[in-house]
């Protein structure tokens, strides 16, 4: 094995050797190499000196309010209770309430599509309402409508507006007849 390759292998164990965490086999191997390799020996010494510099880095202390701030944040945390599973979530409770309201409202709405019988009855009523509308377009029927002849002669202006077309004066004729 070349010295260079050995140095590479030793380098992986060097830190554990220097911090005294290497097992005895690794420790013996590293010590044997350091005894014969001046470069690795010098490097190991520099590592130790560099660690001395790192040790000089001062530690900081947490500020005085650290614990109080943390306790305040913890106090804001929701506490779990044995009946916690029974307490509904606010959003879920709101959704359930809204669903109930909508259900009641829908149930009270007039039911326009509640079966064939009801549909047939509604159609009959609609037909009765419009079946005589054609009479209003029949001029002969309107002109001979007896009920109109019973209108008093002295009638109010409002009544005059209700006269049939053939009893109106010429100046009151619709423009379409001129």
Partner 1 sequence: MEHTHALQLYGNASVSYTVDAMIRSDVELMLQVKAGNDESFNVLLQKYRTPLVNFLFRMVREKATAEDLAQEVFLRVYRARKQYSPSAKFTTWMFRIATNLALNSVRDNRHRQMDVSIDAPVEEDVAPIQLPTRELRIDEHMIERDRSEFIRRTIQSLPEKQRVAVLLHKYEEMDYAEIAKILECSESALKSLLFRAYETLRVQLAPLVSAAAAQRAGEGRR
Binding site for partner 1 (CB under 8 A): 11-16, 19, 21, 43, 46-47, 49-54, 56-63, 66-67, 69-70, 73-74, 77, 80
Q: How far is the CB of 71 from partner 1 (least distance, A)?
A: 8
CB-nearer residue toward partner 1: 59 or 109: 59
Q: Which residue has the tokens 């509308």?
A: 133
Nearer to partner 1, 74 or 106 (CB): 74
Q: Which of 152, 129, 132 is nearest to 141 (CA)?
A: 132
DSSP H helical ranges for the chain: 3-18, 24-36, 38-55, 66-75, 90-108, 116-130, 139-143, 146-149, 157-160
Nearer to partner 1, 83 or 127 (CB): 83
Residue 24 beta carbon to partner 1: minimum distance, rounded to whole angstroms? 16
How far apart CA 47 and CA 45 sit, in angstroms, is 5
Q: Closer to partner 1 at the Cβ: 28 or 124?
A: 28
């Amino acid at each position: 094995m070349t010295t260079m390759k050995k140095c590479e292998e030793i380098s992986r164990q060097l830190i554990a050797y220097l911090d005294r965490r290497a097992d005895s086999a690794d420790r013996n191997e590293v010590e044997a190499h350091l005894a014969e390799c001046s470069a690795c020996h010098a490097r190991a010494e520099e590592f130790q000196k560099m660690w001395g510099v790192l040790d000089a880095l001062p530690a900081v202390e947490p500020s005085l309010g650290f614990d109080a701030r943390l306790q305040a944040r913890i106090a804001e945390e929701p506490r779990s209770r044995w009946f916690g599973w029974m307490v509904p979530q606010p959003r879920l409770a709101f959704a359930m309430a809204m669903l109930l309201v909508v259900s009641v409202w829908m149930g009270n709405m007039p039911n326009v599509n509640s079966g064939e019988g009801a549909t047939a009855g509604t159609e009959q009523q609609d037909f009765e309402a419009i079946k005589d509308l054609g009479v209003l377009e029949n001029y002969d029927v309107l002109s001979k409508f007896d009920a109109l002849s019973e209108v008093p002669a002295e009638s109010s202006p409002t009544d005059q507006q209700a006269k049939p077309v053939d009893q109106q004066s010429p100046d009151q004729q619709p423009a379409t007849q001129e």
